[in-house]
Each structure stands twice: as structure tokens, then as C-alpha cells.
Amino acid sequence: MEELQHILFIDIETVPQIYKYDELKLETRNLWDTKWQYSKDVTSEQHYSKAGIYAEFAKVISIGLGYYNGNEFRVKCISGDDEKKILTEFSELVSKHFNKKDNCLCAHNGKEFDYPFLCRRFLINGIKLPKILQIQGKKPWEVNHLDTMELWKFGDYKNYTSLNLLAHVFHIPSPKDDMDGSMVSKVYYEEKNLKKINTYCMKDVITLARVYSRFVNADELKEEHIVYL
């Protein structure tokens, strides 16, 4: 349990900066088209349905955070339309409360998505990277970034394993939602329902913490110990 006290569990939700392909400015559209110029079966416009995962064309709208404080697991979201404000608040929080040598970040597929996406958006917004995201010049074992998908590989190189699948095989109750990651952009731009996205994001953070606890043989995180901030 003591080990868990040093970890900040995170999950980010991202959307395209411009919702529709045909709304892109000409220069941006040309750069997007160039990115997919060698794609044979799908047009660059069709590829745009996944624009939200590319940091050059997308932005962060919500960062879900979870951490242990004694027996409590505290969960919150930093979210909004102003990405720079979100990233600044996140940087201030981790710099104040998670800046010690033994502090770690934990995300699912974090090394492939969450961590690099955040770093890129920090730089694009002209904000200095918080210490916990600074990996330049560090040896791999000096980087305090945990990734439950990487842990599950155990050195293997199999394909992507979702957080929901890990929750399923570990018999961890995964909250039933009326949305999934592919719907975030639609909910944000069409429904304008950031609260719904935040709820989805925080549930993923809770599931993440429960999955990670299995890797370290920690006690089960129970509902009565979860505090929403």
C-alpha cells in the first residue's frame, strides 16, 4: 500500500482541434493530406475520424487524476475548452505534490499515447514540461512512467490490449457507460457535454488503479474508499 501512495494515475481525453475535415484551413488540410498520401485503401478525409490521437492536430480537453491518500483513493478531472489552462493546472499540481524522486505516473498505454501526447502539447503551447515528464538524457530505468499495458506484455510484443480487456480478465467490475473513447469528439463538439466526458475519464482512472493493484498484489480498491474531488 505504501508503494501506491507515490503514484499519480492518469488518463487523458483528446479531440481534434477542428472537428470536421472540411473545416480545416487549406494549409492544415494539405499537411494532413500529406501525412496520409501513401495510404491506399482509406482517404485522408476518412483518416480524419482519428485526428484526435495525433498531437499535431488535436488537443487535451480532460485529464483524469487519481491518487491514494491513506486508505482513500481521490479522483478528479482537470478539464475545459482552454487547453493551455488545463496543462498549466496539471503542471502546477504535479510540481507541487508529485515532484519527489520516488513519484511515478501510471497510465494504460501511457508510453505510446498519454505521456508523449502531453509532452507534445506542452511544447506546442509554449509551457515548460513539469519535472515528472522530463525524460531527455535519462536512462530507461530512471524514467518514472508506469504503463499497465507494458506491464502486461512481460517482454512480449503482442498487439494492443485494452484497459477494459485487462479489467475483464482480472474480474474487475468495469462501469457500464453509454460512451467509449471513439465517441469523445462527438460528445464534446455536438453534445457539448464535458461533464459526461469527465465522468467517463474518471471511471477509467479508477479501473486503471484497480488493474495496477493486481500487478503489485495490493488490496482491492473498494467503492467506499473512492472520493470524488
Residue 80: per-residue pLDDT: 97
Residue 176: per-residue pLDDT: 59
On whether residue 41 sits in a domain, the answer given is no
On whether residue 87 sits in a domain, the answer given is yes
CB of 9 within 8 A of CB of 67? yes
On whether residue 25 sits in a domain, the answer given is no
pLDDT digits (tens, 9 = 90+) for 32-67: 999 999 988 899 999 999 999 999 999 999 999 999
Q: Whole domain around residue 205: which residue ranges?
A: 3-17+57-228
| Cα-based torsion angle of the residue sequence 79, 85, 88, 92 in order, rounded to the nearest 10 degrees | -70
On whether residue 72 sits in a domain, the answer given is yes
On whether residue 47 sits in a domain, the answer given is no
Percent of the chain residues past pLDDT 70, beyond the cut: 98
Alpha helices by DSSP H, the chain: 26-35, 44-47, 83-97, 114-124, 148-153, 163-169, 184-186, 194-215
On whether residue 201 sits in a domain, the answer given is yes
- 16 three-state secondary structure: strand
Which CATH number belongs to the domain containing residue 132 in this structure?
3.30.420.10
On whether residue 137 sits in a domain, the answer given is yes
Residue 207: per-residue pLDDT: 95
Between the CA of residue 225 and those of 22, 106, 161, 206, what are the distances in Å?
47, 19, 28, 11
On whether residue 34 sits in a domain, the answer given is no
How many structural domains comprise the chain? 1
Q: What predicted TM-score, i.e. pTM, was given to this entire model?
A: 0.94
CB of 213 within 8 A of CB of 219? yes
pLDDT digits (tens, 9 = 90+) for 101-149: 899 999 999 999 999 999 999 999 999 999 999 998 888 888 999 999 9
